Amino acid sequence: MGGLSYLDLEGPKILAFCGKGGVGKTTCASSTALHFAKRGFKTLLISSDPTPSLSDILEVNVRGNITPINYYKNLNAIELDYDLVVKRWKEKFGQEVYEVLSSFLPVGKEIIDYVAGAPGIDEEFALSYVLDIYESNDYDIIVWDTAPAGGTLSLIKLQDKFYRHLGEAAKLYVKVRKAVEMLTKGRARRNPLDIIASWEKLAERVLNMLRDKRTHAIIVTIPEALGVHQTERVFKELEAFGMHVSKILVNYVVTEDVCVCDFHRQRASMQRDYLNILRDRYEKEPGLAILSQLPREVRGIKAIKRVEELLF
C-alpha cells in the first residue's frame, strides 16, 4: 500500500493532518515534518491541538514558541500555548474590538478581557497565527497537527460564517450610523467600518489559505467502526468546504504475521473488515496509506525516524 511519498513540492505548502483524537495525528505529522527537513526543505511543525503531545513526542519543549529542533537544522516546531494565544489575541485585536463595540455601547476596556474569554476565540486566533506564518514565506513546508476532527471542522465552519456575517455587520452599521454617531460622538478613535472591513479581509485570507491548491489535508484514521464513520464525515465536510484531501492514512494496523495468538488473530480479522471498507471507498481517490501498529510508543527522534521510514 502506498505511503506519502507521492507528495509534490511546488511552492509553499501546508500539510494538515486531521482526524479524531487518539489516532496518531501528532506522530504522523512529526514524521512527515522530519521527512521534508531531512531533504533540505525549511519546515515548521505546528500543533494547534488543545491537548497537545508534540513536546512529549519530540522530547523537546516547543510549547508557546517556535523552537529549532537541533537534530535537523531545517526543522522548527511549536505547540500552541492557549494562554499565550489569548494574550497575543488581545495584543493584536483587543483595541480594535474595543473601538468597534464602544462605537455602539458605553463600554470600558474591560470588554476586551470579556471577549477574549469567549469560547472559540483561542482557536480562531490559531488560524490567524497559521496564516501569518503561511504568508511570511519563511518556510517551504508547514506541517499542521490540527485539533481533533470535531474542533477543526467547527472552526472552519465558524471562519466561513464569520466572514459572511462581517459583511452583514458592515451593512447594519451603515443603516444605523447616524444614530450611533449621535449617541457615541467622539468615543471611537477609528471608523468601525474600516475595522470591520479589515476583519473581513483577514477572514477571506484565511479561507483562501485553507482552500488553496497548495494546502493538502491528510485524514488519519484507524480500522474500527468509529474511525470509518468519522473518516466519511470528515472527508465529505472537508471536500464540501473546498479543501483538498490528499490521502487517507490508516494507523495502528495489526498485521496477521505479528502474532499467532487468538487475541491478535481476532483483532487482525476485525481490522481487515474495516480496511476493506476503507479500500472500497478511498483506495482510488484520494488514495489509502497503511501504517502498521508498532510494538513501542513513538517518542524521541529514533522512533520518529522509524515511522518516517514506514510512511515514505
Tens-digit pLDDT string for the chain (312 aa) = 346 655 555 556 899 999 888 899 999 999 999 999 999 999 999 998 877 889 999 999 999 899 999 877 899 999 988 788 788 888 888 888 888 777 766 778 888 888 777 766 777 778 888 999 999 999 999 999 988 765 555 556 666 665 555 566 556 555 555 555 555 555 556 677 777 777 778 888 888 899 999 999 999 999 999 999 999 999 998 988 889 999 999 999 987 777 778 888 888 889 999 999 999 999 999 999 999 988 888 999 899 999 999 988
User: If you search the block for the grid coordinates 480594535, which residue do you land on?
Assistant: 96
Torsion of CA 307, 271, 231, 284, to 10 degrees: 80
The per-residue b/e assignment along 284-305, b for 16 or more CB within 10 angstroms, e otherwise, is eebbbbbbeeeeeebeebebbe
On the 0-12 / 13-18 / 19+ scale of CB atoms within 10 A, 95 is middle
CATH of the domain spanning 13-85+119-311, picked from 3.90.1150.10, 3.40.50.720, 3.40.50.300, 3.10.310.10: 3.40.50.300
**Contact (CB, 8 A) for 253 and 224:** no
pLDDT at 1: 39
Give residue limits of the domains in the chain.
Answer: 13-85+119-311
**Per-residue 3-state assignment (H helix, E strand, C coil) for 99-111:** HHHHCCCCCCCHH
pLDDT at 75: 96
Which residue from 77, 161, 167 is spatially nearest to 124, judged by alpha carbons? 161
Whats the size of the chain, residue-wise? 312
DSSP conformation class of 300: S
pLDDT at 85: 79
CB neighbour list of residue 96: distance below 8 Å, 6 or more residues apart: 190, 195, 198, 199
Which residue from 282, 283, 272 is spatially nearest to 238, judged by alpha carbons? 282
Adjacency order of strands within the sheet including 75-79: 67-68, 75-79, 43-47, 141-145, 13-18, 215-221, 244-253, 288-292
CB neighbour list of residue 224: distance below 8 Å, 6 or more residues apart: 270, 271, 274
